[in-house]
Amino acid sequence: AQKITQTQPGMFVQEKEAVTLDCTYDTSDPSYGLFWYKQPSSGEMIFLIYQGSYDQQNATEGRYSLNFQKARKSANLVISASQLGDSAMYFCAMREGDDAGKSTFGDGTTLTVKP
Amino acid sequence: KAGVTQTPRYLIKTRGQQVTLSCSPISGHRSVSWYQQTPGQGLQFLFEYFSETQRNKGNFPGRFSGRQFSNSRSEMNVSTLELGDSALYLCASSLGQDRETQYFGPGTRLLVL
């Protein structure tokens, strides 16, 4: 079974609107971290936001927020006030307990922001 | 603080050759992880080095190897290149603690002809 599932291969959003990118995960480890990365066409993976499994509040970083629903094992990324520069591939990732440097990634969602 | 750097950024090789990629982590970071990204397989974990020791290894053949130096810089080597090795190779650095954020470099695009 896939550990990280991103069910939206592609998404479109109008500039200045908000968009939610879905991510569900599968783990039996009570201690884990969830991450979102942005990958523009240049290839670099840019860290956006982190949520720890024991964090009581949803993480926020500027225009990015993470809708963390632990019981449903979902960690959706919300981007508010979309900008043209937000057009990129977005990856959800997880690191579990004693993972020794390994992140597990989903297949990604391509976001296109329309002017 | 300078980010993760990778050299070279682009590389073209022919089948059967070998290649060495380099990664310099963020200053103070002791963990370097390597990933292979292809359109078909997505992002796959190759291995991780911490304080010059390989701590973890993904499911790749022995043609893929790496090492880490005392200054935490890491190299990855692929011998006897195959067409399927064409990919974006990303390295990521972190302090080395469990479940912490990994910061990625710009990647090396390898094309095998």
Q: Tens of pLDDT along A33-83?
A: 999 999 999 999 999 999 999 999 999 999 999 999 999 999 999 999 999
The per-residue pLDDT for range B89-99, each reduced to its tens digit, is 999 999 988 88
Instruction: Give me the pLDDT at residue A1, please.
Output: 60
- Partner-chain contact B104 A104, CB within 8 Å: no
- pLDDT score, position B37: 98
A105 touches chain B (CB under 8 A): yes
- CA distances to A40, A59, B59 from A62, rounded to whole Å, are 19, 10, 37
Q: Are B70 and A10 in contact (CB under 8 A)?
A: no
- Measuring CA to CA, which residue among A98, A42, A29 is closest to residue B48? A98
Percent of chain B with pLDDT over 70: 99
Strand pairing of B74-78 and B19-24?
antiparallel
B102 contacts A104? CB cut-off 8 A? no
Q: What is the pLDDT of residue B102?
A: 95
Find all residues with CB under 8 Å of A87, minimum gap 6, and list them.
A40, A111, A112, A113
* B107, A44 Cβ separation under 8 angstroms: yes
- Cβ-defined contact of A101 to B105 (cutoff 8 Å): no
Confidence of residue B42 (pLDDT cuts 50, 70, 90): very high
Instruction: Give the mean model confidence (pLDDT) for residues B70-82.
Output: 97
Mean pLDDT of chain B: 96
Q: Which residues of B touch A31 (CB under 8 A)?
A: 98-99
Q: Are B58 and B48 contacting, i.e. CB atoms less than 8 angstroms apart?
A: no
Q: Is the pLDDT of residue A98 over 80?
A: no
| pLDDT value at residue A99 | 80
What is the pLDDT at residue B7? 97
| Closest partner CB to A103 (pick from B49, B102, B109) | B102
